A and B are shown apart, each in its own frame.
Chain A
């Protein structure tokens, strides 16, 4: 300490507290900027023109629909069963095949398990293309190609699943410890053998997690795919919606909710056992 030491009071030296870092103002400014941009986007003329008055004038129009939704038509239940089962079948098939295809692709897409940069970039590029196309568009195109039914739905879900599982699992592989892989190189194993014996065991939890996750997504997505004729609950939803049967629609929504909750409970139990 030099001679310019701060004055001492009651035997305690005043602390030399570091100054605030330069970037400290950024947080509040970013929040204000985000709010400002959102407001501007809602303005008529410049943005999308949110008219709050319209909500005030027209909300009654939707009220009777909400009332109908609150009173499900239970007698409709038998008719919902076959499409519900078809939805689950589509989800199971698409998830199983998608997971099987995704596992080797995940190792090709991860830096740690595929040192060959051109091959890795090719796999990743292809998957980026697959992921960037909406599943509804896949379904619409596939319905045109293979006809109305569950098959185009399954194929659309399959593409969707591979895109998601490979991305998330290959990222998990890259965050795993590389030590075991180095041990594999040190015993003279080829990359394929290293991936099978050393990378795969540590990738299992991520793979199981993502597979269970896309299964749940598939059950929900197959309700939408039916709107373009790709099988499952969606076909029925489209039908009852056309006839303004919101009481029947609410029963369908309730069934999907129950299925999703059951899947969530089951996958949680499986996950706890696997990890």
Chain B
């Protein structure tokens, strides 16, 4: 797949020219530390079983595992969508485990999240969807009136430009293709000026070329902006290609932690607990 020329569109140049105060350089990324974290769901299912992890600020980590292995729970625990049952979890200098709802909302405001199903408001415009990323920093009355500050709009334009779909600014989100919708979702995360980006199976609903495009976007966010990126995947070739570090999960426990490029088929077989099939690869 040919790489898109990043941010070379005429429209984006135009916006850059009228831009008075360009957004400041990316804010300091956060590390993620889990110490003996256990997550037990109300129905008794154990999502994470005494997981300890240390992810440095600015790392690009892929988490692999079959569905039900706990990798989705791991991501949702990091931004507090799933509460920690026991153990401690810190992002940057902030304690997530046991935090008050208000503190959690503030922390989530600094953690971007990308979902498998994009999770856009389909009937709203691309711009409105990206501005959702600013909600933690926007007052209620401005939100209710839809009167976002100009600085927030600029952030949204730049975020869309970074993923190459600024031209779709005024399109309805549901009119876009799957790959474009996921880019809007990434732009929504970028508009948060995040210190961590979490992506839960971001390419599982996309065709192979589009999947590579979206993975490239996430890698660029990590390389160019220095943001800590954590991506859940189940395809081993994508994990090897885009991950610097790879964490393997099975039954709520970390069973592999090492460089992604060095992970052999045998490593994947031991993570998955079964022999590999063609479905485990994107480009079979």
Binding site for B on A (CB under 8 A): 177, 179-180, 182-190, 192-194, 196-198, 201-202, 204-205
Q: Known contacts A196-B144, A202-B121; is A184 also within 8 Å of B135 by CB?
A: yes
Q: Mark B122-143, 1 if CB is under 8 A from A, else 0.
A: 1110001001110110101001
Residue in A179, A182, A188 whose beta carbon sits within 8 Å of that of B136 in the complex = A188
Decide yes or no: A196 and B143 within 8 Å by CB, A183-B115, A187-B135 being known contacts.
Answer: yes
Q: Scoring B residues 98 to 139 as 1 if CB is less than 8 Å from chain A, else 0, what string do you get?
A: 000000111111111101011111111000100111011010
| B109 CB contacts on chain A under 8 angstroms | 187-188
Q: B107, A188: Cβ atoms under 8 Å?
A: yes
Shortest 7 CB-CB contacts between residues of A and residues of B: A188-B108, A188-B136, A188-B109, A189-B135, A179-B119, A183-B119, A186-B113
Other 12 A-B pairs with CB < 8 A, given A188-B106, A188-B110, A190-B105: A180-B121, A183-B115, A185-B81, A186-B113, A188-B104, A188-B108, A188-B135, A189-B105, A197-B121, A198-B132, A201-B123, A205-B123
B188 at the interface (CB under 8 A from A): yes
A193–B112 CA distance with the chains assembled, in angstroms: 17
Residues of chain A within 8 A (CB-CB) of B123 are 201-202, 204-205
Q: Flag whether B79 is at the interface (Cβ < 8 A).
A: yes
Residues on B with C-beta less than 8 A from A201 are 121-124, 128
- Of A185, A188, A198, A201, the most chain B CB neighbours within 10 A belong to A188
- Find chain A residues with CB under 8 A from B138 CB: 193
- What A residues does B108 contact at CB under 8 A? 185-188
Per the bound structure, the CA–CA distance linking A185 and B140 in Å amounts to 15
Closest Cβ of chain A to B145, distance in Å, is 9
The answer to the question of B72 belonging to the interface, with a C-beta cut-off of 8 Å to chain A, is no
CA distance A187 to B109 in the complex (A): 5
B81 adjacent to A179 (CB under 8 Å): no
In this complex, the interface size class of chain B, counting residues with CB under 8 Å from chain A, is 20 to 34
Tell me, in angstroms, the Cα distance from A205 to B192 when the chains sit together: 29
Q: 20 pairs across A/B with beta carbons < 8 Å?
A: A177-B122, A183-B115, A183-B119, A183-B185, A184-B132, A186-B79, A187-B133, A188-B109, A188-B135, A189-B136, A189-B143, A192-B144, A193-B138, A193-B140, A194-B135, A197-B121, A198-B124, A202-B123, A204-B123, A205-B123
Neighbouring B residues of A187 by C-beta, 8 Å: 108-109, 112-113, 132-133, 135-136, 188, 192
Closest to B128 in A: A197
Which residues on the B side are within 8 Å of A193 (C-beta)?
Answer: 135, 138, 140, 143
Q: Within the assembled complex, what's the spacing in Å between the Cα atoms of A184 and B109?
A: 10
Q: In the complex, what distance in Å separates the CA atom of A145 from the CA atom of B217?
A: 66
| Mask of B6-41 contacts with A, CB within 8 angstroms, 1/0 | 000000000000000000000000000000000000
Most chain B CB inside 10 Å of its own CB: which residue of A185, A186, A197: A186
| Beta-carbon contact of A183 and B188 below 8 Å | yes
Q: Which residues of B contact A204 (CB under 8 A)?
A: 123
Most B C-beta atoms less than 10 A away, residue of A184, A189, A198, A202: A189
CA A179 to CA B120, docked complex, whole Å: 7
Contacts of A182 in B (CB 8 A): 81, 115, 119
Residues on the B chain within 8 Å of A192, using CB: 140, 143-144
Measured between beta carbons, the chain B residues less than 8 angstroms from A205 are: 123
Given A188-B105, A188-B106, A197:B118 Cβ within 8 A: no
CB < 8 Å: which of B118, B120, B121, B140 contacts A190? B140
B residues less than 8 Å from A197 (CB atoms)? 121, 124, 128, 131-132, 135, 143
Chain A residues within 8 Å of B135, by CB: 184, 187-189, 193-194, 197
Please give, as numbers and ranges, the residues of chain B lying within 8 Å of A196 by CB-CB distance.
143-144
Q: How far is the CB of A215 from chain B (nearest CB, A)?
A: 22
Report the minimal beta-carbon distance from A106 to chain B, rounded to whole angstroms.
15
Chain A residue with minimal CB distance to B117?
A179
A192 to chain B, nearest CB (A): 6
Residues of A within 8 A of B121 (CB): 180, 197-198, 201-202
Per the bound structure, the CA–CA distance linking A193 and B138 in Å amounts to 9
Q: Which residue of A lies closest to B135 (CB)?
A: A189
Chain B min CB distance to A83 (Å): 40
| Contact for A179 among B112, B118, B140, B144, CB less than 8 A | B118
Taking CB atoms, residues of chain A closer than 8 Å to B120 are: 180, 183
B115 and A179 form a contact (CB under 8 A):
yes
Q: In whole angstroms, what is the CA distance A197 to B127 when docked?
A: 11
Contacts of B192 in A (CB 8 A): 187
What residues of chain B lie closer than 8 Å to A188, measured between beta carbons?
Answer: 104-111, 135-136
A190 surroundings in chain B (CB, below 8 A): 105, 140
A6 to B52, CA, bound (A): 60
Task: Report the separation of the CA atoms of residues A182 and B75 in the bound assembly, to the nearest whole angstrom.
Answer: 13
Within 8 A of A (CB), among B80-104: 81, 104
In the complex formed, the residue of B with least CB distance to A198 is: B121
Closest to A274 in B: B123
Interfacial residues of chain B within 182-241, with CB under 8 A of chain A in the complex: 185, 188, 192
